[in-house]
Amino acid sequence: MASEIQTAEMAEGIVELLEQPRFELMPFESMDEQLEHLPDGSEVAITTSPTLGLEATIDWSERATDRGFEVVPHIAARYVRDEDHLEEIAGRLTDAGVTDIFVPGGDREEPVGEFTSAYELLSALEDLEYEFEEVGITGYPEGHEFLDEEVLAESMAKKEPYATYIVTQLCYDAETILEWIGEIRDRGVELPVEVGIPGVMKYQRLLNISKKVGVGDSIRFLQKTSGVIGFIRELVGSRGTYVPDELVQGLAPYATDPYYDIRGVHVYAFNQVPDLESWRSETLTQYG
C-alpha cells in the first residue's frame, strides 16, 4: 500500500512539473521553427545572445507575443547601455503585452554601458513609469564560477525586494537543487522557485553547453553512478541522448510542498524543441 501511495505521489508530482513548463529558447533564426513545435500559448523565455545582443531578444519577444505565446524576455543588465536604453526596452515590451521579465547580470566580461549587475538594473527599473507583474532573478544551486557563496547570498538579498520569483541555473541533480532551496529558505528567502532543468539532447552537446555556462559538477554527475565504463554504456544505450527522467523523478515528491514552493520547471531547451516535446508528451502519457 505504501509503495502504491508513493507511486501515485510521484506521478502527481511529475504531471505537476511537466504539464505547463516554461521553455527557454535562444533568439536565433531557428527559433521560428522551434515555436511551431510548442503548444499554443506556451510560456517562452527568450535569452540574451552574446553575439546578437538585446535587440534580437526584444524583436523575438514582440514576434512571439503576436503569435499568442506568454513571453518572458531575459533583460541581461550588462547588455543595457543606460537608463534611456532601459526605458526604450521596457516601453517596447509593455507595448507588446509582456508582463514578466527575467533579469540576470549577463555574461559579458565588459558591460556595454553603465549597468554592471542585475541589482543595478532592477533598481533603475523601479524609477521608470513601466511596471511588470513578474520579475525573475537567478539562483545558483551549484554556486558560481567567479563568485563565492557569501557574495551570492548578499546579491540575492539585495535583489529579492525587486523580484517575484527565482530561476535556478542549469543543474542535473535533484538533491543538490533541494538542498539549495533549503539553504535559501533558512536565510529567509521566500520567493517561489522555478527549477532550471536541461531538455533532451545529445550528451556531447549538453556537456559542451554545461561547461560554457559554468555548471561545476555536470560531467561528474553524469558519470558518478557507475564510473567511466558505466557512463559509456549509458551513452550507447541511450543512443547518446540525455533525457531528464531521473531529475524530474527526484523533484516530483516535492513539487507541491509549500516549504520548497516550486512553482514549475524552467526547461533549458537549447532550441531542440521537437525531441523535448516528444519526451514530455510520452512522460505525461505514462504518468497522467
How many C-beta atoms lie closer than 10 Å to residue 239's C-beta? 8
> Structure pTM?
0.89
Query: How far is residue 191's CA from residue 136's CA, in Å, rounded to a whole number?
Result: 10
Query: How far is residue 25's CA from residue 34's CA, in Å, rounded to a whole number?
Result: 8
Side chain identity at 229, as an amino acid letter? I
Sequence-ordered list of residues with C-beta below 8 angstroms from that of 274, at least 6 positions apart, any chain: 37
- Torsion angle of the four alpha carbons 117, 120, 122, 128, in this order, in degrees rounded to the nearest 10: -140
Query: Maximum CA pair distance of the chain?
Result: 62
CA distances for 244 relative to 29, 65, 198, angstroms:
26, 28, 7
Domain positions in the chain are 2-200+243-287, 203-240
Write out pLDDT tens, residues 185-244.
999 999 999 999 989 987 766 666 655 544 444 445 444 444 444 544 554 455 578 889
Per-residue pLDDT tens digits of the chain, which is 288 residues long: 444 445 888 899 999 999 999 999 999 989 999 999 999 999 999 999 888 899 999 999 999 999 999 999 999 999 999 999 999 999 999 999 999 999 999 888 899 999 999 999 999 999 999 999 999 999 999 877 667 788 899 999 999 999 999 999 988 889 999 999 999 999 999 999 999 998 998 776 666 665 554 444 444 544 444 444 454 455 445 557 888 999 999 999 999 999 999 999 999 998 999 999 999 999 999 997
Give helix 83-96 / helix 53-66 axis angle, nearest 10°.
20
Domain 2-200+243-287 has CATH 3.20.20.220: yes
Strands 43-46 and 193-198: unpaired
